């Protein structure tokens, strides 16, 4: 299916073009086209109530992509993008977010384009040097609903290609695409830091930038046979410094648009192990979402521990498609 024939998702009303909510519909139904090279298209439909809760698909008639394993519609527990196991509470380590690193700021001249005046924060998951600073990344930080480790090492393919390397590579490609459309892009880090940033600081960087949209780039580390991408949306959370009520609606809209364009550009299937085949998952245990005050989502671009997904994730041409799909979703969200 060509880009010109890609269906437009229904939008929730908002004030202006900033991506901020101005009274979202209580319930809409959205659809993602699951494309196949032969031109057979299916639809994944799900309830998109603005309460931020986990919803099962209301219809599923998606054709499987070549090479995809049969879909298992029962969601299973996956490693957290922010850590494999929760840290013990009560750490006395210092907390609070630092100012964004100057190396991560995009301060060069920007061309005119559809995203002129927009600010996008791109959060490359993990850091390739986290493993050299285990004490620092293991300290716990407050995420509103509890405490979690500052950061983790992430996962890798069986051949040793690290999630941190993947996420930074896609982030660089995504920055290039968005800048060409006039957006100011801020990375939460650009590989210049010895570790981290911590998950609370990652959220604070987007908040301090007054981002119109923020996306955290990851790849999952699940079991062999678990395939496909999923976008993680913030749940409705209130506690401590966390209050996601203002961002749940626009974040869901951002996530739906990224999911739809990711399918269109990469021809990847929605996850067969998370989200009930919708490509969407809602979580309230991630500090990067809980502490955000701007529309934000995570995207798990595939499963690094599955050989078929790993073959895609390690391919530079596919990573360019992944970045393009994410960028198209962000543009669709901001330029409407």
Choose the weakest-confidence range: 16-25, 108-117, 288-297.
Answer: 16-25
Average pLDDT over residues 229-249: 97
Choose the weakest-confidence range: 103-112, 163-172, 204-213, 236-245.
Answer: 103-112
108 confidence band (pLDDT: 50, 70, 90)? confident
Residue 81 falls within a domain, yes or no?
no
Asked whether the predicted pLDDT for residue 20 surpasses 80, the reply is: no
Does an H or E element contain 170, and which?
helix 163-180
Choose the weakest-confidence range: 22-31, 224-233, 238-247.
Answer: 22-31
Mean pLDDT over each residue of the chain, to the nearest integer: 78
Catalytic-residue membership of 253: no
Residue 131 falls within a domain, yes or no?
yes
Residue 23 falls within a domain, yes or no?
no
User: Which listed residue (163, 201, 253, 300) is catalytic?
Assistant: 300
Q: Is the pTM of this model over 0.85?
A: no
Asked whether the predicted pLDDT for residue 73 surpasses 90, the reply is: no
Q: Which of 279, 280, 282, 272 is nearest to 309 (CA)?
A: 272
Residue 197 falls within a domain, yes or no?
yes
> Which domain CATH number covers 142?
3.40.630.40
Tally of structural domains, the chain:
1
Average pLDDT over residues 287-291: 98
Residue 119 falls within a domain, yes or no?
yes
- Non-local (6+) Cβ contacts of 12 within 8 A are 21, 24, 25, 28, 50, 249, 250, 253
Residue 286 falls within a domain, yes or no?
yes
Asked whether the predicted pLDDT for residue 65 surpasses 60, the reply is: no
Looking at residue 244, the DSSP 8-state letter turns out to be: -
Do 60 and 272 form a contact (C-beta atoms < 8 A)?
no
92 vs 225, residue with greater confidence: 225
Do 206 and 251 form a contact (C-beta atoms < 8 A)?
no
Asked whether the predicted pLDDT for residue 58 surpasses 80, the reply is: no
- CA distance linking residue 199 with residue 136, whole number of Å: 12
166 vs 6, residue with greater confidence: 166
DSSP string over 59-79: EE-PPPPTTPPPP--S-----
Asked whether the predicted pLDDT for residue 198 surpasses 80, the reply is: yes
Asked whether the predicted pLDDT for residue 217 surpasses 90, the reply is: yes
Q: What percent of the chain has pLDDT over 90?
A: 67
Residue recorded with tokens 């609903």: 145
* Structural domain of 170: 102-334
234 confidence band (pLDDT: 50, 70, 90)? very high
Residue 61 falls within a domain, yes or no?
no
- CA distance linking residue 274 with residue 259, whole number of Å: 14
Residue 56 falls within a domain, yes or no?
no
């Amino acid at each position: 299916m060509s880009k010109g024939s890609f269906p437009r998702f229904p939008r929730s009303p908002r004030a202006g073009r900033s991506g901020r909510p101005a009274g979202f519909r209580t319930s809409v139904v959205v659809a993602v086209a699951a494309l196949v090279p032969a031109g057979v298209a299916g639809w994944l439909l799900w309830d998109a109530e603005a309460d931020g809760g986990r919803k099962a698909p209301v219809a599923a008639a998606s054709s499987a992509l070549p090479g995809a394993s049969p879909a298992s519609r029962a969601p299973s527990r996956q490693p957290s993008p922010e850590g494999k196991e929760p840290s013990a509470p009560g750490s006395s380590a210092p907390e609070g977010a630092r100012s964004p690193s100057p190396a991560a700021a995009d301060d060069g001249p920007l061309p005119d384009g559809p995203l002129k005046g927009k600010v996008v924060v791109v959060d490359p998951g993990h850091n390739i040097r986290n493993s050299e600073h285990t004490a620092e990344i293991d300290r716990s930080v407050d995420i509103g609903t509890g405490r979690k480790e500052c950061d983790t090492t992430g996962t890798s393919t069986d051949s040793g290609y690290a999630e941190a390397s993947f996420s930074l590579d896609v982030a660089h490609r995504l920055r290039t695409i968005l800048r060409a459309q006039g957006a100011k892009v801020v990375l939460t880090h650009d590989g210049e830091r010895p570790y981290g940033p911590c998950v609370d600081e990652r959220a604070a960087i987007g908040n301090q930038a007054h981002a119109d949209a923020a996306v955290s780039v990851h790849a999952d580390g699940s079991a062999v046979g678990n395939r496909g991408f999923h976008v993680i949306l913030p749940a409705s959370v209130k506690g401590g410094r966390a209050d996601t009520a203002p961002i749940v609606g626009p974040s869901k809209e951002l996530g739906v648009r990224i999911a739809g364009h990711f399918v269109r550009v990469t021809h990847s299937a929605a996850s067969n192990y998370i989200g009930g085949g919708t490509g969407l998952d809602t979580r309230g245990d991630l500090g990067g979402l809980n502490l955000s005050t701007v529309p934000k989502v995570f995207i798990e671009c595939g499963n690094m521990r599955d050989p078929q997904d790993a073959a895609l994730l390690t391919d530079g041409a596919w990573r360019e498609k992944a970045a393009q799909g994410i960028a198209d979703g962000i543009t669709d969200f901001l330029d409407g």
